Structure 1
Amino acid sequence: MLDIKWIRENPQALDEALKKRGADPESAKLLALDEARRQHLTKLQEAQERRNAASKDIGKAMASGDKELAEKLKAEVSKLKSFVQDGEAEERRHDAALNDALARIPNVPLDDVPEGADENDNVEVRKHGEPKRANWAREHFEIGEALGQMDFERAAKLSGSRFTVLSGQLARLERALGQFMLDLHTQEHGYTEVQPPLLVRDDAMFGTGQLPKFTEDLFRAGDDHWLIPTAEVSLTNLVREEILDGEKLPLRFTALTPCFRSEAGSAGRDTRGMLRQHQFYKVELVSITDAESAIDEHERMTACAETVLKKLDLPFRTMVLCTGDMGFGARKTYDLEVWLPGQNAYREISSCSVCGDFQGRRMNARYRVAGEKQTRFVHTLNGSGTAVGRALIAVLENYQNEDGSVTIPSALKPYMGGLEKIEALED
């Protein structure tokens, strides 16, 4: 959530930022709501001050024997009391209207984010590895089905479309990928492993920006909970409504969890295979920092995600997203796109974003700087380190052999009991 004081002082900057994102200007609407709220607060304050003064005057009138004036003042105080009580309810309505409007405004991009309309305007930052494609290269679902260990028909019987049943060594390979990523981030990159809840309440979803704007993208679980679309929600909200010691920042968390997404806006896209699922595993990275460290932490987090792909020896490229393709809460985002020979294309496997104090303000999560009386809102970052299902896809397509088998990457062999390759199940 953006700071209304900043908007008050920089309305044109807000509208320019929204224009870069392809959104309509909002400053006039927000400032009108803010002004109505402030005018009402002024009236309330004046009424409260007059009520206090009149209450004192009642005592003076009684002391001087002027009962008529005392009664007149009592009537005024009673009227002011009713006005203040009604006015406090009206104040809550003004607050709710302003906060709801602010909650739907996306974050302001950093100055160095390229301006553009959509993914076609994203800019390549760097590339690692040499993309290769043999004439016989197949897509992951063809490989998995031929191995007899990836079943979409049975998944559809159980749950409908956009689900997969993995079995045998493919199930083990997906598990191996998740464990490999967790070990890398905790042992080499300094993240603390967390096993968070998969069900969260409204305020947690609000804190990271999923609610109220993206309700249709989520799965509700009963009246009071939602299934997490990403462990970013659980991990970031670990610090909600807390005041942290600034000297102990940054905090770095990682988790391997299932994620649940309705994919409401992806009808007709990636309908075959595992690229776009309602349920998938992901290793999430979250950092809680101070204002000064956030940009450097963003580069660090992106490098941590890149290391996963480097150790798996998967070709990839790092893209900086343009203003029109960034997520709602991000100020700047790097996407890692892994090479998929079966598709003959790069596809996203990780997205790393710096959010400024946008989420910190929504969560009321702050930190204290030594020597300062005022607290500051924390800055937050999140990234995939990486999407496990998509890593499985990338391994299958990049390590496929012409005979249909799949070679195990060296980094994963310890997690696969030394297995060299996955081959088709015997009948």
Structure 2
Amino acid sequence: MHDIRAIRENPAAFDAALGLRNMPPVSPEILSLDADRRSRITAAEAAQAEQNKASKEAGVAKGRGDDAEFERLRALVSAKKEEVAQMQAEAAALDERLNEMLQGIPNLPIEGVPAGADENDNVEIRRWGEPRSFDFTPREHYEIGSVVPGMDFETAAKLSGSRFVLLKGSVARIHRALGQMMLDLHTEEHGLNETWTPVLVLSRMMEGTGQLPKFGEDSYQTREGWWLIPTSEVTLTNTVHGDLIEQASLPRRMVAHSQCFRSEAGSAGRDTSGMLRQHQFEKVEMVSITDAENGMAEHARMTRCAEAVLERLGLPYRTMLLCGGDMGFGARITHDLEVWLPGQNRYREISSVSYCGDFQARRMNARYRPEAGGKPEFVHTLNGSGLAVGRTLIAVLENGQQADGSVDLPEALHPYLGGKTRLDAEGRLV
């Protein structure tokens, strides 16, 4: 949500920032709506003052027995009352239109975010690890011999339709181990507070983090009105919804491992093979609630937390600074981590780490009381995958695959697999 006062004060800067997202100027329409709304409010206040004045004068006229003047003033009071109601109704309608428009405008990129239309205009910041050289043609995850018995798409399709998978046996255990390893790393070494959250939320929680009203088609809603979370960013961030907290309690750093649900409404024909893009998946999500001064430092820290998971698993990756046209709706700046997938011979996104400023906090009305005194300020929010568990499973399997169809597993996973180090050619952990 945007601050209308900031748009009034510098509409050119507002439009210029939106230009980084390839959006046309919108401040003229916003300010026109705002001016109409304010004029109705002013007119209502003026009519209210005239109504009050006429009401007092009518009392005086009645007291001195001037019936004609009393009737004239009583008619004026009635007319002004109707005028007040009319102006207030028009102001409320304009206010609703203005809020709807502001809710549909994405966050403003910060200085330094590159202009660009899509992922082709993103900028590489750094990369870690060297992609492995294979003496055979590497397969995609769902084609690896030892993986095939444990990754059942046919049964999942029978149960639920397309874009679902049934993980079984050793593959399911590796998937579970990855989530556990990520949680342990984030809680024991990165200082994040583990949190278990619901996966069903109220509409106002989805509004708070920006999934509604604009992106409702990307999520699932139950008949009772709850929404299935697309990520636990929704629940973790909304833990401060409507709250006034002390600055001394910031930052609040949380992590959750949860099921996530997305309709993938805009991805028809994309990644239809394998489990790269699913309607139901698991993610270890990081969220930070901080103050206005420390948002960018927290963003760098959260990026490193996500990178550390990939490094612990020995998976080559690159860190990308997203251009304005490729950033998510609520982000001011985003780092994408892209892991190397030898089966596709390319880097693919495995985490997005975004700093949202006070954009979500305004929608949630989440504020903090400054230690130095003064009026409350909106908190600043951040979120990032640490990591997407299914995509990490894909990367582990593809990078560790051997010519005979077996898979060597990262050392970091061995303690979570009872000391087992490999998936043999028959799909057994050994």
By the TM > 0.5 criterion, same fold?
yes
| Kept in 1: contact 2:232–2:256 (CA 8 A) | yes
Q: Which residue matches 2:21?
A: 21
1:381 aligns with 2:344: no
Moved more, 52-61 or 106-115: 52-61
Q: After TM superposition, give the deviation of residue 377 of structure 1 in Å.
A: 1.1
Q: Which residue matches 2:94?
A: 94
2:284 alignment partner AA: V
SS in structure 2 opposite 1:324?
helix
Moved more, 315-324 or 223-232: 223-232
SS in structure 1 opposite 2:8?
helix
Please tell me the root mean square deviation across aligned C-alpha atoms, in Å: 1.5
In the TM superposition, 1:248-287 aligns within 5 A as 248-287=249-288
Q: Which residue matches 1:70?
A: 70
CA distance in 1, matches of 2:28, 2:301: 38
1:194 aligns with 2:195: yes
In the TM superposition, 1:19-418 aligns within 5 A as 19-134=19-134, 135-143=136-144, 146-418=147-419
| Kept in 1: contact 2:164–2:279 (CA 8 A) | yes
Moved more, 273-282 or 90-99: 90-99
CA distance in 2, matches of 1:169, 1:425: 7
For residues 208-264 of structure 1, what are the alpha-carbon distances to aligned partners after superposition, in whole Å with 9 as ceiling and x for unaligned? 111111122111212411111111111111111111111211111111111111111
1:227 alignment partner AA: L
SS in structure 1 opposite 2:111?
coil
- How high is the TM-score relative to the length of structure 1? 0.96
SS in structure 1 opposite 2:383?
strand
CA distance in 2, matches of 1:299, 1:48: 53
SS in structure 1 opposite 2:281?
strand
| Kept in 2: contact 1:258–1:279 (CA 8 A) | yes
1:8 alignment partner AA: R
For residues 3-48 of structure 1, what are the alpha-carbon distances to aligned partners after superposition, in whole Å with 9 as ceiling and x for unaligned? 1111111211122222221122211111111111111111111111
Between the two proteins, what is the percent identity of the paired residues? 59
| Kept in 2: contact 1:245–1:367 (CA 8 A) | yes
Q: Taking structure 1 as reference, are residues 83 and 371 closer, same or farther at Cα in structure 2, changes over 3 Å only?
A: farther
| Kept in 2: contact 1:133–1:342 (CA 8 A) | no
Q: After TM superposition, give the deviation of residue 146 of structure 1 in Å.
A: 4.8
CA distance in 2, matches of 1:103, 1:44: 26
For residues 79-101 of structure 1, what are the alpha-carbon distances to aligned partners after superposition, in whole Å with 9 as ceiling and x for unaligned? 22233234333332111100000
Q: After TM superposition, give the deviation of residue 54 of structure 1 in Å.
A: 2.2
Q: After TM superposition, give the deviation of residue 329 of structure 1 in Å.
A: 0.8
SS in structure 1 opposite 2:144?
helix
CA distance in 1, matches of 2:123, 2:80: 61
Q: After TM superposition, give the deviation of residue 104 of structure 1 in Å.
A: 0.6
2:9 alignment partner AA: E
Name stretches of at least 5 consecutive residues in structure 1 with no aligned partner.
none
Moved more, 334-343 or 414-423: 414-423
CA distance in 2, matches of 1:202, 1:24: 29
| Kept in 1: contact 2:414–2:421 (CA 8 A) | yes
CA distance in 2, matches of 1:362, 1:19: 23
Q: Taking structure 1 as reference, are residues 70 and 372 closer, same or farther at Cα in structure 2, changes over 3 Å only?
A: farther
Q: After TM superposition, give the deviation of residue 129 of structure 1 in Å.
A: 0.7
CA distance in 2, matches of 1:36, 1:86: 14
Moved over 6 A (4+): none
1:60 alignment partner AA: V
CA distance in 2, matches of 1:89, 1:300: 48
Q: After TM superposition, give the deviation of residue 62 of structure 1 in Å.
A: 3.2
| Kept in 2: contact 1:399–1:407 (CA 8 A) | yes
For residues 135-182 of structure 1, what are the alpha-carbon distances to aligned partners after superposition, in whole Å with 9 as ceiling and x for unaligned? 231111112675411111111111111111100011011111111111
